[in-house]
Amino acid sequence: MKTVCMFFAARRYWADEEKLRSAYETLAAQMGEGIECCLAADAMEEDKLPQGDCLIAVPMSGAVQQNILAAAAAYESVVLYGAYIRGNAPGALCSEMLRCNAAPTLMDTWAVLRRTTPGTQLALNEAQLKDALQVLAAYNAVRGATLLQIGHTEPWVISNASEPAVYEARFGVKIRFVEQDELAQLYRGAQREQAQTYYDWFVQNSTGCAEPTDGALWDASRMAWALITLLERYGAQGAAIACFNLLSEGTTSCLGVSYVNDCTPMVAACEGDMDSAVTMLMMKHLTSTKLWMANPGLQPDGTVNFSHCTAPICCMGDPLPCTLRSHHESGIGVSLQVELPQKKRVTACRISDEASKMTVHLGYSAAGPYETACRTQMHVRFDDAPHYLRTVLGCHQVFAFEDVEEKLLRLAALFGLDVL
């Protein structure tokens, strides 16, 4: 996403050209790398607006509202930035922009653009500006993505959309169905040298091994290679994989799903759950942590024990304690029992209901008993547990290990999702 930042200043307020240029240079220096900056008056007088996908519009005075609206029409996305607000620029410059009526210009323009240009963002400080640009980048990344449906969704996953076209219409993603046998054939033909990278990764980053044999680990590593090779074959950004049917191959895809979410820019969801795959694709671009999808187990103390066998080992950056285990339901293959951190802020999210709604729930990971469920388990105490129960959109929840609620809400608005 190419971003252009234009600074709008009327000459009636900024009559001193040298003073204007100095103010512009001060503000432009605060923009991040890769953002092309210019004075709007220069670009518009020459009728040569910079090429780009996103416009950051910075009012420096009054009497520029029409110019901002005209410039905004040339870009796909717009962020209005309140540079005049104290703390966003040197004090004297903030005062000067206030004197020049930048404040009413910002609100007047925001009031119009939010009605006429859906998706316009408002940023009141540098942190919000960074978040707004990240959300817009995520929006563009999702709309251009390809997700594979590898095999048919498992029959117990009942909350997915009725047809792939539903996701394509809402999110602009391309859903490509791939027969499960194509993955199975890659697995059957995989050699040890092809699986070596994945075998070494899990050996080096696990702290123990319970049930699996060395041969089982090699088989699971071959399946990991097959999954990633299939994603690369189709140039896909992610997949929903019907993993249980693969058990007939004598192994599991748990390590492959974990590796994709841990070590690549792609995403992978279990059980053919396309709702979760799309949710992961959205969240992947909004968090610095790794993502984990999991099943909920309600607890008598009001917490929820989330569990699944595909957790990322490095969800917070560094490897966490991890034991290689067999698959919980089948007892074969290799899965992961990762000791996820306690007292950590987490965000749970899911899109569903024919790709029309989103839920976002904040909470903290907590201590709790280890249950007879999937290998990796994390008890969560939601900030509002009754709200979670009232609004839950499906079994699987996708977790980020930080607070990304505000960014998810912004992204939901861009896609026209109702947030419950």
**pLDDT (0 to 100) of residue 43:** 67
Which domain range does residue 13 map to? 3-142
| Domain identity same for 343 and 411 | yes
Mean pLDDT over each residue of the chain, to the nearest integer: 93
Separation of CA 320 from chain center: 22
DSSP string across 343-395: S-EEEEEEEETTTTEEEEEEEEEE-----SSSSEEEEEEETTHHHHHHH---S
pLDDT for 241-296, tens place per residue?
997 788 878 888 999 999 999 999 999 999 989 999 999 999 999 999 999 999 99
Q: Does pLDDT of 162 surpass 80?
A: yes
| Alpha helix stretches (DSSP H) within 144-213 | 164-171, 180-189, 192-204
| Residue 215, H or E segment | helix 214-233
Mean pLDDT of 299-311: 95
Taking Cα atoms as reference points, which of 33, 76, 78 lies closest to residue 58?
78
pLDDT for 314-345, tens place per residue?
998 999 999 999 887 877 889 999 999 999 99
| Domain identity same for 114 and 243 | no
Mean pLDDT of 135-160: 90
| Domain identity same for 21 and 167 | no
| Domain identity same for 170 and 301 | yes
| Domain identity same for 182 and 233 | yes
Which among 104, 121, 142 is the end of a domain?
142
Q: Does pLDDT of 65 surpass 80?
A: yes
Look at the chain and report how many structural domains it folds into.
Answer: 2
The model's pTM: 0.91
Q: Does pLDDT of 89 surpass 70?
A: yes
Neighbours of 338 (CB within 10 A): 28
Q: Which of 13-17, 230-234, 415-419 has the lowest mean pLDDT?
A: 13-17
Over the Cα atoms of the chain, what is R_g? Answer: 25
What CATH number did the domain enclosing 157 receive? 3.40.275.10
* Dihedral class, residue 34 (left if φ above 0, else alpha if ψ from -120 to 50, else beta): left
pLDDT for 362-418, tens place per residue?
999 999 999 988 899 999 999 999 999 999 999 999 999 999 999 999 999 999 999
Cα distances (Å, whole numbers) of residue 1 to 35, 39, 76, 304: 10, 21, 10, 39
| Domain identity same for 363 and 396 | yes
Taking Cα atoms as reference points, which of 33, 12, 3 lies closest to residue 140?
3
| Domain identity same for 113 and 160 | no
Q: Does pLDDT of 169 surpass 80?
A: yes
